[in-house]
Structures are given as structure tokens and as C-alpha cells.
Amino acid sequence: KKIYRRQDKPEYFARNGASIYITSHKKIKKYIIGGKIFSYSYPHGSYDDTTLNIIKLSEYDYAASSIKGKNDKYVSQYVLCRNEIISSDRISDISKKIKGYYDYY
């Protein structure tokens, strides 16, 4: 097995570092809550094909991006859209967001 230095193969370390991060954090969370971890939220909404494959192989049921919009049958279960809820939102605002009132997309 060939050993790569970080500067020789940065994409190798990026891919494997992401895999270690995602899988180890899932195990830690599962240990803490004592149950299955169903979903993942991409840090800052960032993902690429490699990240998507790692999420699928890690057996998450779905994952959320930071893309605003509606989720329908055409949206990937691993790139779900979401709308933000902010501290100034009232219960009525949150209710409207859940019902899709602000889904202009």
C-alpha cells in the first residue's frame, strides 16, 4: 500500500478526512443519545459528490443543505432544502414557514 504525504495527494486527505469526520461524529452522537442517527446537516451547507457518497455510505436516511426552497419528489433525500428560523421569528412566523408560506422558489 502506497503512503501519500498530504502535499502529494491533497484530494486523498480531503476525501478521507471528510469520511473520518462524518463517520466518527455519527458514532459519537449515537453513543451519546443511545439511538440511531437519521440525518446529517452539511457544515455551512457545503457538499460535493464525495461528501454525498460518504453520507450515503454512512447510512444516513437524509441530509439537509442550506439551499432555500421546497422539498418535493424531485429533491434528493441527501440534499434537502431548508428555510431558516431566526430569533426574532414569532410562533406565527414559524408556522407560516412550516406550511410553505414563504416558499417563493
DSSP string, 38-77: -EEE-GGG---HHHHHHHHHTT-SEEE-S--S---TTS-T
For residues 68 and 10, the model is more confident at 68
The C-alpha cell at 99 is 406550511
- Cell numbers standing for residue 95: 408556522
Reading the block at residue 86, the C-alpha cell is 431566526
Higher local confidence (pLDDT), 73 or 44: 73
Q: Give whichever of 29-33, 48-52, 60-64 has the largest mean pLDDT.
A: 60-64
- Is the whole model's pTM more than 0.85, yes or no? no
What is d(CA 1, CA 88) in angstroms, rounded to the nearest whole number?
Answer: 55
pLDDT score of 9 more than 70: no
pLDDT for 2 beyond 50 = no
**What does the domain layout of the chain look like in residue ranges?**
10-99
Q: Which three cell numbers stand for residue 18?
A: 471528510
- Is the predicted pLDDT of residue 24 greater than 60, yes or no? yes
State the average pLDDT over residues 41-50: 81
Mean pLDDT within 40-55: 84
Longest Cα–Cα distance of the chain, Å, equals: 59
In percent, how much of the chain has pLDDT > 70? Answer: 81
Q: Look at 28 and 15; give whichever has higher pLDDT.
A: 28
